Structure 1
Amino acid sequence: MQRFLFLFSILFSTVLGAQKKLNLIPYPQNITLEDGVFIIPETLILSDQLPKEETDYFKKRLGSRVKFKYSSKREEAQLTQALVPQPKIPVTTEEVKEKYTLSISSKGIFITSHTKQGYFLALQTLLQLFEEHREDRKIPALRIEDQPKFAWRGMHLDVCRHFFTVDEVKQYIDYLAMYKLNTFHWHLTDDQGWRIEIKKYPKLTQIGSKRKESMIGAYVDNTFDGKPYGPYFYTQAQIKDVVKYAQERHITVVPEIEMPGHALAALSAYPELACTKGPFEAATKWGVFDDVFCPKDETFTFLENVLDEVIKLFPSQYIHIGGDECPKTRWKECAHCQELIKKNNLKDEHGLQSYFIHRIEKYVNSKGRKIIGWDEILEGGLAPNAAVMSWTGVNGGIEAAKSKHFAVMTPGAYCYFDHYQGDPQSEPNAFGGFTPLDKVYSYNPIPAELNAEQAKYIMGVQANLWTEYILDFKQVQYMIFPRLLALSEVGWGTSDPKNYKEFENRVISQFRVLDKMKVNYAKSIYNISGKVIPANNGIAYELSTSQNSDGIRYTVDGTAPTINSNTYQKPVSIPGSLTIQSAYFENGQLKSAVSSQEFSISKTTGKKITLEQQPSENYSFGGAFTLVDGIIGNVKQLGKTWLGFQGKDVVATIDFGQKTGFSEVYFNTLENKGSWIHLAKSAKIFVSDDNKNFKLIKEIGKEEIQNTKGKIKLNAGSQNAKYLKVIIENAGIIPAGNPGADSKAWLFVDEIGVL
């Protein structure tokens, strides 16, 4: 172990006073506050034995606020004797390589670590302390003993849907370093663009790095900008530069080369690698496409040659090979694929995918590396040494860990930063879902289903940023901040959802740093958050903000609130259909976006509701109550007002509380086949007075639902019942010829109302 004397200045000691929680993110494992302070002098004296690259980084981050001087004199620096690591603990082990101790007293600042990486992490803590105390220049005396819980703390960036420059990628890496993330997952190939130079196959970037136009607006609009996009790609020299830049910040860059699906950009350059003749072009739409790599020798030769060049560029232990969302449509129709299934005694096309991944893994392993892939690589059996990145939920990670395979947890419900993070009504267009800061912070990467031994296979946690709706780097900043801060603390292992408000305050303190860096972070934390709650056999609208609730003003007539509007004191009763607009004011000035919510009240609104099957975590905001909360879903924003069910029917029972008369039942479903969302197959309406014996009163089939485009209004006749049951049938398995063929369809439902 090396003990680095970091900074030293002989100063007088004072008493800090009442101890408080420091504004550090991620919060260290152990902090002991002591008496006294370290007063930041005009000139910091540095030991000349400090690691140069890491120390230069520190000096650059501190900027011109402090001058620096190096010294080797023991009497000046009071250098203590260096500690030697115990032979039984190699410095390369995960247990110690990121461990550090930071001691601050009136006499100086000392960092002890086993490695330069641990030293670098200590610097991030120290930089935050310097920033927090930049005004009074007094850092409290303390001792921090710290190390992360998880070895993999990652952020992903998709540069295929929209491209970002080398300088922007470096900024992204800097953000990770600031908050102690250590893995950058670089998504370099997809249907919409091939972004990495491969010298053996120049057409990949000559042809595959551009597309004729791009989809714009919400997916359901199906509109395009008509503007050629690209060619955009990174040269191998640029990639080496980025990798070196990341290494200097102790961040591992993990490249992703998609296979066997998400291959249209590659096939546009080399159509002979497909099952059909083409021609192909890089995709202009978002979603999933049927044309994928054909598992023939020619394809494997191509991929092996590509991987040879990738492996030379990236020293990471893992190479990400994608493996997700691979439709089997072409393979089912391909004579070569069917013969390959028979020849290798494979069960079906899922077995063929497993064959594909196994073959790639064997090659990557022969180069001394390992593969990691999205959890669809579990289909047909997991390759022997593969690690799983669990995105469709937590089950992929659970299955991998139970079979003694490593896994990184990145479930969409918590870790997809392309989702909305504030009220969708006041947020920029996003992919969908609703993943606010508190939800990210609440995530525990260790599934409850795993025992202690199995939990060891959970390497860590990662968040993903897909860029279909992210047009520039300012929007990248907006989508990752401040959620990256929550991810940081989750990955470090010190998050505490019970004390979320305390964490929120620390986040707000970091905004000053982000402001200085001119980062375009989301200010959703300041905006009014609205929640529908049951009240007096109806509903009320509960408003909240991270600030003082006395500053909330609202209106009920749809007009924009002013400082003279209603002052929020308690949940607002919703007696009938109306629109509430709300905002936060401070010192008479508007400080937040104006939030707007329209209510459409029916006889089901606020009533007790139960679901036989629960929605997907990605689209479960509000739970079953979302279906009776008086809010009609916005077809362009799936975040807060819809429930999403993958492969499941909606079976909802509503208790009116007493016999209630009605004659019409209404609800909406969605169709967005590019995202695997299909209209309901059928719907049935039942009534009952005892919640046991139900009578069918209305049924509607697929054709009628198609004719209404999912906006269902059913004439139920004259009814008078205590219970209403609605069964909305999922479309089931997506048929061939559609994106996501052979996968389970999504069913989205909003309000179930009666009149």
Structure 2
Amino acid sequence: MTAPVAARASSASDAADAADAADAADAAERRLPVPLPAVLQWGDGAFLLLPETALDAPTELAGEAAWLRAALGPATGAWLPDASGADTAAGPDTGVGPDTSTAAPPPAPRITLRLDSALGAESYRLDADPSGIRIEGGDPAGVFHGLQTLRQLLPPAALRRADTGAEPWAVPAVRIEDRPRHRWRGVLLDVVRHFLPKADVLRFVDLMAVHHLNVLHLHLTDDQGWRFEVPGWPRLTEVGAWRTESMVGTRHTPRHDGRPHGGYYTREDLREIVAYAAARHITVVPEVDVPGHAQAVLAAYPELAAGEPPSGVRTGWGISDAVLSASDESLAFCRDVIAEICAIFPSRYFCVGGDEVPRGPWRDDPASIARARSLGLPDTDGLQRWFTARLAEMLAAHDRTLFGWDEILEDGAPAGALIGGWRGDHGARAAAEAGHDVVASPDTSVYLDYRQAEGPDEPLPIGTLITVEDIHGFDPVPAGLEADAAAHVLGGQAALWAEMLDSVRALDYAAFPRLCAFAEALWTEGPRDTAAFMSRLATDHLPRLAALGVEYRPLAGPHPWQSRPDAPGHPRARADREAELVEMTARLREPREA
């Protein structure tokens, strides 16, 4: 760690080059990564990334090696040739004839990747000094996280897509030992309320990878649209994927833009998204929201509706009264959808939603009334529990586990179901205490579409105030939870609901830099120093986001072009929302097993 920069000068020119390299190493900046590693110890000098720098990686890390070459090569010119052909050595001395051998030159500086199972899942160790860089991971995901940290140790220009002449590429001497605090570090991406083209989804996956996030929850269906093909159900994309217009701003100021909106992913698109994410050690969890949030489905197939079917795909925000009937036809539809999604998404978990289900239409629907009677239910309200149980059985046939929002606890969730706790910390607490694994996604803490400041220039301010500092202090484990229950909290998940996010620029503004704070809250162990994080964010990390082309919200407030005076929002006081949540979640206090 304290060795000088290697210099093998054999001429005046070489000596000058060595002197320049030493100067560059001395000037190397000690940039702190985000998320902050568990252990970080600076050394002396720096490793210089050069065009001749080689890469030594075993075959089981070929994917990570390929990613690193593609990530670093365009900006730095260091395409990292295979180290197996990078060294030369003298032949053996046979003792016959004159000794013409010369001393073998030292190995060329290189980056070495290795696996070490003793480190644990997703964990890594990074050692850099002037002679080389070595990254060891407990598994390929750990090595990949180490590579992301390596990129952040370089100047921010290393994250660009072409060489901008920013030299030298120096990595300060450092020893890092790192591991994740929580195993589920997710983001929900809503591609329904405003469709996000495939290329933008892939870009978002890359931005998740930079921050060691590992679950992309892809919200694929809702009242306002259906976003993928299903064989045998062509009207899902012919009709359900399109709406005639969208609301401008919130549902509290009902203005519409008069502009058709829609889109969907082909099977090949979804396979590409899944594979692209997997190469970056991110699992894509699909969500198909049933039996509620179903207006797009019922606009395409009205015969599946309980009660009067809707006239079209919903054009406004908020919750529709449209709900699937408890008929055999609805079950057949769900079975076909689940089979299609399970054939594409290898994720163990499959989210079926189950939230905000309107039960009124079931009370007047002949098929649903008949179903309730045949099951011996006192009324049709019990169909929510029955419907969720049937979905769990369908998923089990594909070796998948049902993931549902915390409303499914109210009548008794299927045994083994994963719960998404979104209504404050009430849902996560109830699920964990009932013995369910849970992912904490409280709307009052990690909904990134909610407003970031009190100022009048904040674009489309909705929900409670959630600042960067607030999110950095987020803990997915509810306060006071007993240890046995706390063990059921797998981690946390931020949410980007897209009613107000009608473009990639709006998505960037809502997500960053708050998603950076969320990533650190879920990754980094130990006490939080939010003031230090904000300093690192401003000096070290925002330049990285800029290099990546992210139109983040400036810490001082939005740029003029990021405001939306044409679309007023609907801010809410935190105390009002908390009071509402207590009332909404009263039935969670005594959750029952199905």
TM-score, length of structure 2 as denominator length: 0.83
Q: Which residue of 1 aligns with 2:253?
A: 221
Secondary structure of 2:551 counterpart: coil
The alpha carbon displacement at 1:185 in A equals: 0.8
3-state DSSP of counterpart to 1:76? coil
Per the TM alignment, residue 345 of structure 1 is displaced from its structure 2 partner at its CA by 4.0
1:200 matched to which residue of 2?
Answer: 232
Q: Which residue is 1:27 aligned to?
A: 36
Identity %: 32
Contact 2:55 2:112 in 1 (8 A): no
Question: Which one of the candidate residues 138, 141, 163 is aligned to 1:114?
Answer: 138
Candidates 70, 88, 97, aligned match of 2:82: 70
Q: SS where residue 32 of structure 1 aligns?
A: strand
Closer/same/farther in 2, CA of residues 641 and 53 from structure 1, 3 Å limit: closer
Opposite residue 194 of structure 1, the aligned amino acid is W
Q: Does 2:289 align with 1:258?
A: yes
SS at 2:155 equivalent: helix
Change (3 A) 1:171 1:104: same
Name the residue aligned to 1:97.
121
* Residue 438 (structure 2) pairs with residue 407 (structure 1): yes
Q: Give the equivalent residue in structure 1 for 2:517.
A: 486
The verdict on how the C-alpha distance between 1:438 and 1:350 changes in structure 2, with shifts beyond 3 A counting, is: farther
Give the alignment of 1:394-543 within 5 angstroms.
394-494=425-525, 496-497=527-528, 499-508=529-538, 509-523=540-554, 525-527=555-557
Q: 2:112·2:134 contact (CA, 8 Å) conserved in 1?
A: no
User: Alignment partner of 1:488: what SS?
Assistant: helix
Partner SS for 1:168? helix
Partner SS state of residue 120, structure 2: helix
Helix, strand or coil at the partner of 1:398: helix
Alignment-derived partner of residue 52 in structure 1 = 62
Q: Is the 8 A contact 1:527 1:593 kept in 2?
A: no
| Equivalent-residue separation in structure 2 for 1:511 and 1:181 (angstroms) | 18
Local SS of the residue matching 2:352: strand
Pair 216,380 (structure 1): closer, same or farther in 2 beyond 3 Å: same
Aligned ranges 1:599-610 → 2 under 5 Å: none
1:137 deviation in Å? 4.0
Higher RCO (CA < 8 A, seq sep 6+): 2
What is the aligned partner in structure 2 of residue 697 from structure 1? none
Structure 2 CA distance for aligned equivalents of residues 594 and 318 of structure 1: 36
After superposition, where does 1:285-684 map in structure 2 within 5 Å?
285-346=316-377, 348-494=379-525, 496-497=527-528, 499-508=529-538, 509-523=540-554, 525-527=555-557, 636-639=569-572, 643-644=576-577, 646-647=579-580
CA-CA distance at 1:109 after TM superposition? 0.4
Distance apart, 1:221 and its partner CA: 1.9
SS at structure 1 position matched to 2:351: strand
Between Structure 1 and Structure 2, which shows a larger proportion of helix residues?
A: 2
Q: Work out whether residues 35 and 211 of structure 2, in 8 Å CA contact, stay in contact via their aligned partners in 1.
A: yes
Q: Contact 2:451/2:571 (CA < 8 Å) preserved in 1?
A: no
CA offset digits 1:550-600 (Å, max 9, x no partner): xxxxxxxxxxxxxxxxxxxxxxxxxxxxxxxxxxxxxxxxx99999xxxxx
More strand as a share of residues: 1
Distance across 2 between alignment mates of 1:407 and 1:48 = 37
Number of the residue aligned with 2:176 = 144
| Helix, strand or coil at the partner of 1:440 | helix
Contact 1:154/1:462 (CA < 8 Å) preserved in 2? yes
Structure 1 residue 279, shift from structure 2 partner:
4.7
Which SS does the other structure have where 1:220 is aligned? coil
Residue pair 2:217, 2:285 contacting (<8 A) in 1 also: yes
Q: CA offsets, 1:214-258, max 9 Å, x none?
A: 11133222111122223x111111111111111111111111000
Q: Distance in 1 between matches of 2:195 and 2:418?
A: 27
Does the aligned pair in 2 maintain the 1:351–1:379 contact within 8 Å? no
Displacement of 1:380 in angstroms is: 0.3
CA distance in 2, matches of 1:126, 1:83: 15
What are the Cα deviations for residues 84-122 of structure 1, in whole angstroms up to 9, with x where unaligned? Answer: 867xx7xxxxx8221111111221100111322111111
CA contact (8 A) 1:187 1:256 kept: yes
Provide the alpha-carbon RMSD of the alignment: 3.3
* Matched residue SS, 1:119: helix
Give a deviation string over 1:167-201, Cα, whole Å, max 9, x none: 01111111101111011111110000001111221
| d(CA) in 1 for partners of 2:479, 2:362 | 37
The alpha-carbon distance between structure 1 residues 81 and 460, as it changes in their structure 2 partners (threshold 3 A), is: closer
Distance 1:441 1:385, change over 3 A: same
Task: Indicate how the Cα distance of structure 1 residues 331 and 143 shifts in structure 2: closer, same or farther if over 3 A, else same.
Answer: same
Pair 1:647–1:25, CA change in 2 (3 A): closer
Deviation, structure 1 residue 647:
4.7
| Residues 1:335 and 1:84: Cα distance change in structure 2 (over 3 Å) | closer
Structure 2 segments unaligned to the other structure (5+ residues): 8-17, 89-105, 159-165, 589-594
Q: Is the 8 A contact 1:19 1:33 kept in 2?
A: no
In 1, the alpha carbon distance for the partners of 2:251 and 2:313 equals: 18
How far the C-alpha of 1:455 sits from its partner, in A, is: 1.5
CA contact (8 A) 2:58 2:113 kept: no
For residue 128 of structure 1, the aligned residue among 146, 152, 163 is: 152
Per the normalisation by structure 1, the TM-score is: 0.66
Matching residue of 1:656: none
Distance 2:581 2:150 in 1: 50
Letter in 2 for 1:60: A
Distance 1:527 1:334, change over 3 A: same
Q: Is the 8 A contact 1:214 1:225 kept in 2?
A: yes
Change beyond 3 A, Cα 1:352–1:495: farther
Give, in angstroms, the shift of residue 47 of structure 1.
1.5
Alpha-carbon deviations, 1:317-352, whole Å to 9, x = none? 101111111111112223433443344344655532
Going from structure 1 to structure 2, the CA distance change for 1:640 and 1:20 (only over 3 Å counts) comes to: farther
Helix, strand or coil: the match of 1:185?
strand
- Flag structure 1 segments of 5+ consecutive residues without an equivalent: 1-8, 90-94, 529-590, 596-633, 650-731, 734-739, 744-755
Which residue of 1 is the match for residue 201 of structure 2? Answer: 169
Rounded to whole Å, the distance in 2 between the matches of 1:27 and 1:492 is 8
In structure 2, distance between residues paired with 1:84 and 1:98? 11
